[in-house]
Amino acid sequence: MKKYLFAALFVSLSTVVISQDLRYGVRGALNISNLDFEPDAEFDNQHRNGFAFGGFVEYEFSEKRSLLVELQWSAEGGKDETIRADYIHLPILLRFNLSDRFVLGVGPKISLKTWAANDLFSTAAFSGVAGAEYMITDELFIDARLSYGITNVIDQDIKLFEARNHVIQFGFGMKL
Using DSSP, state whether 7 is helix, strand or coil.
Answer: helix
Interacting residues of 62 by C-beta distance below 8 A, sequence separation 6+: none
Residue extents of the structural domains in the chain: 2-175
Task: State yes or no: pLDDT of 15 exceeds 90.
Answer: no
Q: What does CATH list as the number for 2-175?
A: 2.40.160.20
Give me the mean pLDDT over the 135-157 stretch. Answer: 94
The answer to whether 148 and 128 are in contact (CB under 8 A) is yes
What does the pLDDT average to over 36-41? 84
- Gap between the Cα atoms of 86 and 164, Å rounded: 14
pLDDT of 58 over the 60 cut: yes
The model's pTM is: 0.84
